[in-house]
Chain A
Amino acid sequence: MTAWHFTGPPGSVNSSSSVSDRRTKEEVAEEAMYVFNFYPTHSKSHKKIDFRSDVDDLGFMRPWSTLEESGCQKQYETWYASYLPIVVRRRCRWEKENPRRNSHLLQRFVRKGIPHTFRKELWLRSCPSRKDGVWQRHEVPDEVIKQIKLDLPRTFPDNKFLKTETTRKTLGRALFAVAEHIPSVGYCQGLNFVAGIILLVVNDEARAIDLLIHLVSQRQDYYGKNMIGLRRDMHVLHSLLREHCPRVIVTLEKLDVGLDMLVGKWFVCWFVESLPMETVLRLWDCMIYEGDEWLFKIAVSLFRSNMIAISSCETIDQLMTEIQNIGTSKAALYCHQLMMKSAALPITNKSIENLRVVAEKEIPE
């Protein structure tokens, strides 16, 4: 099952007219357009965004265009009606208090969601540039180039932007740059999806590539030979789940199935393709600003929210169905609540580091 890809408003924004009595529907729609539209320059030529369009601002099909399940659009609209006021309020607060200049405020503001107008700036905030010579260039083996080429048309093949030849070439250059600057990684499947999202959000090839290299270089052991980092972190997640939702672990042990088999992709792709896009972006805001603890916080939160369903599974088949349903669960869709719940979990970068040290001793080479 594919997770929902979507950002931005649903087919109708009428439901949000109760946001504030002071605003007309048109003003709210305008606000929504401003808040969510990733390409403001495009919107000038199209004064009004077509909210009934099948494609969102990042070029993904809206959920009701891809999902057959009935009730999906309704669920999405209900969520959106509750989410839009939050987004509008956050943007007002960002503009008023400008947390970018106040590091005490910034963490709290990032956790509550970076308005898209500031997202690119914040994501790139501590990202070095290749121009500064932080990373050296290395020769890229033909084999790696071949693999990258193979995956270009297999990266979000339905995305409006990524299916054009030009953007695919940009994606190719981005993945090539990773191989060039991080030879221990070269190319690892999964990075194509990560790179795709970075390109779509940052929308500036040079800086998008800087950010991609920056983020991948921090997680080299995930994508290198044998993917040791991934296997280590699955042990870490196992320990965290044992502590925070032991019933899930009991089920996994009963069914003799490892977390790698269930949720490896969450960590390889930083939840892209597994959660709704707005949820992914909110998570990335925190992961980029604060670190890997957020991958674990979200994973534990999702397991906790779906614990009853998961722990009542009696077969692998049922378990896999429940795991796949997490991506479209209410917990995954209501991203603001998910972020707030996750923030409250006592999981920190420090505790992750400690667990990683223990886990490293347990994994076979």
Chain B
Amino acid sequence: MAARNSAGGAARPGGPNRTCQFKLVLLGESAVGKSSLVLRFVKGQFHEYQESTIGAAFLTQTVCLDDATIKFEIWDTAGQERYHSLAPMYYRGAQAAIVVYDITNTESFIKAKNWVKELQRQASPNIVMALAGNKADVAQKRTVEYEEANAYAEDNALLFMETSAKTSMNVNDIFMAIAKKLPIGPAQGEPTGTVDMNQPQQQQKGSCCK
């Protein structure tokens, strides 16, 4: 868990500080941990039994990069197959997506690949996609090998991390990695300089935006 840094860098004197908002969607099979990843990232919490998400949930979280503030507008979607027909409106116009699977559930990995295919076909062409192999804390029950998922991610130019919403392993990191890849500002330039991967602002709903 990253140390809470409420000062953030919200109004760093001197340096340029743009605020950019990005729509991020989470997709993946039911019960792989989409809501748990978001809850960990946004509130730093974890519930062993997270209520099933109906439709979708909406949350925001702000992270500060070296020269910009990134505000994620996160749409956490329902995982069940029949809610699939509602998914396009959530990924429509999204600049980022995290496709989640459960490393102990091979089927969920297959489903994740289908989501990636659908996004490649239907989502905005510049969408930044990440693949998250969640539940890394129960690696002893693993059925999806790291190497396999990593190779798949490389082939498809996806960011890839194994995560654990329970232990918070790689949770902030995957969001930060996405933030780094997002085009900030009209110049479309990559952020320059070093990026502090460990200091997303916790529980600062929209405070340094606007």
Bind each other? yes
A16 contacts chain B at the CB level, 8 A cutoff:
no
**A269 and B54 contact, Cβ closer than 8 Å, known pairs A154-B49, A189-B30, A317-B206:** yes
Offer 28 A-B interface pairs, CB within 8 angstroms, sorted by A: A147-B30, A150-B30, A150-B31, A151-B30, A153-B49, A154-B51, A154-B52, A157-B49, A157-B50, A188-B82, A189-B54, A189-B79, A190-B52, A190-B54, A226-B85, A231-B85, A258-B89, A261-B55, A261-B56, A264-B54, A264-B56, A268-B54, A273-B51, A273-B54, A316-B58, A316-B73, A317-B206, A324-B58
Q: Are B47 and A157 in contact (CB-based, < 8 A)?
A: yes
Instruction: Determine the chain B residues whose CB is within 8 A of the CB of A153 once the complex forms.
Output: 49
A260 contacts chain B at the CB level, 8 A cutoff:
yes
Q: Are A265 and B86 in contact (CB-based, < 8 A)?
A: no
**A320 and B55 contact, Cβ closer than 8 Å, known pairs A189-B78, A227-B82, A231-B85:** no
Please measure, in the bound complex, the distance between the C-alpha atom of A223 and the C-alpha atom of B71, giving whole angstroms. 34
B175 contacts chain A at the CB level, 8 A cutoff:
no
Given contact pairs A189-B78, A265-B55, enumerate 11 new A-B contacts (beta carbons under 8 Å). A147-B30, A154-B51, A154-B52, A157-B50, A188-B82, A189-B79, A193-B52, A264-B86, A265-B54, A269-B54, A316-B23
Q: Are B80 and A154 in contact (CB-based, < 8 A)?
A: no
Instruction: Determine the chain A residues whose CB is within 8 A of the CB of B60 once the complex forms.
Output: 317
Shortest beta-carbon distance, B90 to chain A, in Å?
7
Write the chain B residue with the least CB distance to A150.
B31
0/1 interface trace, chain B 107-146, chain A, CB 8 Å (1 if under): 0000000000000000000000000000000000000000
Instruction: Determine the chain B residues whose CB is within 8 A of the CB of A192 once the complex forms.
Output: 52
Please measure, in the bound complex, the distance between the C-alpha atom of A153 and the C-alpha atom of B52, giving whole angstroms. 9
Instruction: Determine the chain B residues whose CB is within 8 A of the CB of A188 once the complex forms.
Output: 80, 82
Please measure, in the bound complex, the distance between the C-alpha atom of A110 and the C-alpha atom of B136, giving whole angstroms. 52
Instruction: Tell me which residues from 259 to 302 in chain A have a Cβ below 8 Å from any Cβ of chain B.
Output: 260-261, 264-265, 268-269, 273
**A193 and B80 contact, Cβ closer than 8 Å, known pairs A154-B49, A317-B73:** no
Write the chain B residue with the least CB distance to A258.
B89
Our pick among B80, B89, B90 for the contact of A189 (Cβ within 8 Å) is: B80
Instruction: Determine the chain B residues whose CB is within 8 A of the CB of A258 once the complex forms.
Output: 89
**A189 and B52 contact, Cβ closer than 8 Å, known pairs A147-B30, A317-B73:** yes
Tally of chain A residues near chain B (CB < 8 A): 33
A242 contacts chain B at the CB level, 8 A cutoff:
no
Write the chain B residue with the least CB distance to A185.
B82
B152 contacts chain A at the CB level, 8 A cutoff:
no
Write the chain A residue with the least CB distance to B210.
A315
Q: Are A155 and B206 in contact (CB-based, < 8 A)?
A: no
Write the chain A residue with the least CB distance to B80.
A189
Q: Are B86 and A260 in contact (CB-based, < 8 A)?
A: yes
Write the chain B residue with the least CB distance to A324.
B58
0/1 interface trace, chain A 149-162, chain B, CB 8 Å (1 if under): 01101111100000
A169 contacts chain B at the CB level, 8 A cutoff:
no
A137 contacts chain B at the CB level, 8 A cutoff:
no
Please measure, in the bound complex, the distance between the C-alpha atom of A175 and the C-alpha atom of B47, giving whole angstroms. 24
Instruction: Determine the chain B residues whose CB is within 8 A of the CB of A89 once the complex forms.
Output: none
**A157 and B54 contact, Cβ closer than 8 Å, known pairs A150-B31, A227-B86, A260-B86:** no
A225 contacts chain B at the CB level, 8 A cutoff:
yes
Instruction: Tell me which residues from 207 to 242 in chain A have a Cβ below 8 Å from any Cβ of chain B.
Output: 223-227, 231
Instruction: Determine the chain B residues whose CB is within 8 A of the CB of A189 once the complex forms.
Output: 30, 52-54, 78-80, 83
Please measure, in the bound complex, the distance between the C-alpha atom of A192 and the C-alpha atom of B30, giving whole angstroms. 14
Shortest beta-carbon distance, B83 to chain A, in Å?
7
Instruction: Determine the chain B residues whose CB is within 8 A of the CB of A157 once the complex forms.
Output: 47, 49-51
Instruction: Tell me which residues from 75 to 99 in chain B have a Cβ below 8 Å from any Cβ of chain A.
Output: 75, 78-80, 82-83, 85-86, 89-90, 93
Shortest beta-carbon distance, A32 to chain B, in Å?
30
Please measure, in the bound complex, the distance between the C-alpha atom of A23 and the C-alpha atom of B51, giving whole angstroms. 43
Max chain A Cβ within 10 angstroms of own Cβ: one of B49, B55, B56, B90: B55
0/1 interface trace, chain B 40-66, chain A, CB 8 Å (1 if under): 000000010111111110101000000
Shortest beta-carbon distance, B208 to chain A, in Å?
13
Instruction: Determine the chain A residues whose CB is within 8 A of the CB of B31 once the complex forms.
Output: 150-151, 154
Please measure, in the bound complex, the distance between the C-alpha atom of A157 and the C-alpha atom of B51, giving whole angstroms. 7
Max chain B Cβ within 10 angstroms of own Cβ: one of A188, A189, A192, A224: A189
